[in-house]
Amino acid sequence: MADVEKLIFHLGDALRSNNRTKSADVVKQILRAKPPLGNRWKSMAAIAKKNGEVDDAISAMQNYCAWAGNSPAVQYELSALYAQLGRLEKADALLNSLPYETPNAADYHYSMGTLALNLGRTDEARGHLRTACKRAPTSGQSWLALAMSGKLEEADRADLFDTKRNFEQAPDLEKSAYAYACGKAHEETGAYDDAFSAFSQGAKIMQTVRPYNHAADQNDAAQSVTGWDALLHGRTDRDDQTQNIASHIFVSGLPRSGTTLVEQILNSHSAVGGGEELGLMQLVVQDIGKSASDLSRFTAEGGKYQDLQAIYQHLLTQRLPNPGRAVDKSLDVSRYLGLIATIFPKTPILWLRRDPLDCAWSSFRTWFLNGLDWSWSLEDIARHFAIEDALIEYWTDRLGSQLLVIDYAELVSSPEAQIGKLTAHCGLKLEPAQLKPHETSRAVKTASVMQVRQPINTTSIGSAAPYERHLEMFSQAYAAAKRDLPVFG
């Protein structure tokens, strides 16, 4: 036991120094030792999850469940971890095996409903979510999930509006989510002024909960392009340090710009084995740092690009055990393109673009639970969009043929030509299934879960038109932000 306590001491030291590799290694040693850690196994699972070590997180959580007697309540916690780690099928199977209404009726039906929705079982999802709303009327997130599962039935809409008085004392998160659900309901009936008012009310709440730091956003973007020119210039001479076959594909673009559709199109190809918002580059940079100078220091100290490729590949196989070609559609890809293009010069990169007004409105009306703090204000959306515009201009000029920019309107208006183009860019041959991506059965976790279940269509083009009067503040702020933003590079 003394050796185990020593390991735990080393783990604490690694965590304090933010050393991901060391903390991951110590957790592995603790798992091999299998000491009687009791409820501390749950902490080990959380650490492994944060480090991107999916298998270790699951093993640690299973140890916790065994210590706790594998009761339904702790099995429910394991199911939640499966879902958080992208193992939705396992989460679904485990949850279905538990006694009905574990740990309580509202949480059980909400979890069942969201999993069914992610897995494409829409009718089943709506049934569970209706029950969750009835069992917990002040669960704004349950109402929002129901609203986002498809057009509300008249009875659902009436129940939604009738419960408004119950939210007066609800927590801010639930109150905000409920407002977004009401916005969706108003929008469906063409009550656009009421819809905008509801979305605005929900967004205003979130501005206080998760305020946006524009200066930090702009500084992060500026830092992300600094110093890479010299490293990029010499990358063609480093075939010995770079992969010969591109095993993955990076997809970048603003939220609601069509990135999930492209991910679905690529995953409809027989050579592509999975993909989602993986966020793996956030983990890779914990080992070396994020900037060009950090990478230069890493190589000066003997590090090799193959080491970083191996770290990324390891983390990728943790998330997607049998990926084949894999799609990494993380929201922060634009902030890591220097590192990506330097260590993966043969990996194709796709960047989605959409009409700014449509994209802004779609972002504003979407309740993003994590991150995207800029989405709660039309002015903040404008400022963030201007930053991303500057980044795409910078990287388009430098990455050449490695980067393909795709216009969303062109993609949905001329799908065969555009899908053929993006498929060829990824070194693949077009397959018929890619033209019908809605028929591909796979888990989808993003806010576009319902859209990608539909055939490719143009209905989202001009979606901001009913709100054009309300969006004037975005247009003005966007023009000002583009004019005033310093040129990167």
Higher-scoring residue by pLDDT: 468, 244? 468
What pLDDT does residue 315 have? 93
What pLDDT does residue 489 have? 67
pLDDT, tens digit, 9 for 90 and up, residues 222-234: 999 999 998 987 6
Report the percentage of the chain scoring pLDDT > 90. Answer: 80
Residue 236 has pLDDT above 60, yes or no: no
What pLDDT does residue 52 have? 96
Q: What is the largest CA-CA distance in the chain?
A: 68
What pLDDT does residue 234 have? 64
What pLDDT does residue 115 have? 95
What pLDDT does residue 7 have? 87
Per-residue pLDDT, averaged over 342-369, amounts to 95
Q: Which amino acid is at 457?
A: N
What pLDDT does residue 153 have? 95
Report the percentage of the chain scoring pLDDT > 70. Answer: 95
What pLDDT does residue 238 have? 47
Q: Which phi and psi angles does 456 have, rounded to 5°?
A: -55, 130
Mean pLDDT of the chain: 92
Per-residue pLDDT, averaged over 419-433, amounts to 96
Closest CA to 98 of 60, 71, 61, 59: 71
pTM: 0.93
Q: How does residue 8 score in pLDDT terms, banded at 50, 70 and 90?
A: confident
What pLDDT does residue 4 have? 79
Cα(91)–Cα(115) distance, integer angstroms: 8
pLDDT, tens digit, 9 for 90 and up, residues 42-90: 999 999 999 999 999 999 999 999 999 999 999 999 999 999 999 999 9
Helix (H, G, I), strand (E, B) or coil at 406: strand
pLDDT, tens digit, 9 for 90 and up, residues 239-293: 444 444 457 899 999 999 999 999 999 999 999 988 888 889 999 998 898 899 9
Residue 332 has pLDDT above 90, yes or no: no
**Distances in Å between the alpha carbon of 156 and those of 20, 105, 194, 199, 430?**
47, 19, 18, 19, 42
Q: How does residue 445 score in pLDDT terms, banded at 50, 70 and 90?
A: low
Per-residue pLDDT, averaged over 106-131, amounts to 95
Per-residue pLDDT, averaged over 94-104, amounts to 94
Cis bond leading into 35, ω under 30°? no
pLDDT, tens digit, 9 for 90 and up, residues 309-331: 999 999 999 998 776 789 999 88
Residue 12 has pLDDT above 80, yes or no: yes
Q: Which phi and psi angles does 349 have, rounded to 5°?
A: -125, 130
